[in-house]
Structure 1
Amino acid sequence: MRWHSTATWHGPLAISDQLVQQKSTFQAYATRYQAEADAPATFSRLMKITAMPQLLAHIQEVDPRTRRASHAMYAWRLRSSSLISSSLVLGSSNGGEAGAGERLERLLELSNCEDVVLVVFRWYGGVKLGSDRWRCISTVAKEALKRGGFLSGSREASDRARSRNGSRKRGK
């Protein structure tokens, strides 16, 4: 078996600040990824066995602390173009945090992000956070997406525009 060099990951990483909640630490990474012209089912399989291990190895090289994370959850939302059609390919992994991958997929969908891979690390601090963990995961994920410029066409931007318009109406 031939090992892939971590240098094969070409996209820059957008990194959130660390968020500490009751001794647990969360941090997210977002990067652009261009889908190959494979069938969606084949492409999802290739993402899990090739691209994601390469990305995780690259992140671990950039930030060795991530090797010790208790959880590494991730999701992607990519446009796959073939000769016949174009479709969105979604995928995720919970990384041991039940339901986290699907929540990250949903965040990418609601934010209208395409050709993006999002990874969130959690270092467990010994205290169960309950539903607060979802807020922490979402907070760092959104920050990484924002820093990477992936939220420009998102619902969040249109919600801000609507609220600005609404506040002008109230002031009249």
Structure 2
Amino acid sequence: MIVLEDLVRDRGSRYAASVGEVRTRAEIDAFLAALRTRRKFSKATHHSWAAVLSEGGPLKGDDGEAGAGAVILKMLEREEVADRIVVVTRWYGGVHLGGDRFAHVVTCTRAALAALREA
């Protein structure tokens, strides 16, 4: 699991990204559970994620951040990244960000994909 903390700060909200290998829905659930065991991440407001499984196809979850999973999934499909999960974590800062939140999801996903290429 690669975890990139404090990638974006905007009006009190903070963002991080995590990426790792998954091959099944059970491994996705285990990855998310492991991320949530980290003290800091257990207090996050949203863990939006997506993965494209070789055997199982595309999966995504918004975790209350409507549309965020679809943004991550589109980027994974465009880059043809299979059997990896990208999770964008947000700690809500009390101010609605509107469409800017999607730009932050894109920024975090790009950073996660870059870290994956470097690993």
The normalised TM-score by structure 2 is: 0.89
Is the counterpart of residue 70 in structure 1 residue 45 in structure 2?
A: yes
Deviation string, structure 1 residues 107-163 (Cα, Å, up to 9, x no partner): 10111111111111100001111111011111111101111228xxxxxxxxxxxxx
Q: Which residue is 1:161 aligned to?
A: none
> Considering only aligned residues, what root-mean-square deviation do their CA atoms show, in Å?
1.6
Distance across 2 between alignment mates of 1:146 and 1:32: 15
Distance across 2 between alignment mates of 1:59 and 1:51: 12
More strand by share: 2
8 Å CA contact retained: 1:14, 1:145: no
The normalised TM-score by structure 1 is: 0.63
Equivalent pairs counted in the alignment come to: 117
Q: Secondary structure at 2:59's aligned position in 1?
A: strand
Distance across 2 between alignment mates of 1:51 and 1:79: 13
Alignment map for 1:80-119 (pairs within 5 Å):
80=55, 89-119=57-87
- Write out the 4+ residue segments of structure 1 that deviate beyond 6 Å after TM superposition: none
Match of 2:90 among 114, 122, 128: 122
Match of 2:106 among 128, 138, 150: 138
Answer 1 or 2: higher relative contact order, Cα 8 Å, separation at least 6.
2
Distance across 1 between alignment mates of 2:11 and 2:48: 20
Is the counterpart of residue 56 in structure 1 residue 56 in structure 2?
A: no
Distance across 1 between alignment mates of 2:27 and 2:54: 15
Distance across 2 between alignment mates of 1:26 and 1:32: 21
Letter in 2 for 1:59: L
Q: Secondary structure at 1:144's aligned position in 2?
A: helix
Distance across 2 between alignment mates of 1:139 and 1:105: 14
Letter in 2 for 1:89: G
Q: Which residue is 1:29 aligned to?
A: 18
Q: Secondary structure at 2:54's aligned position in 1?
A: strand
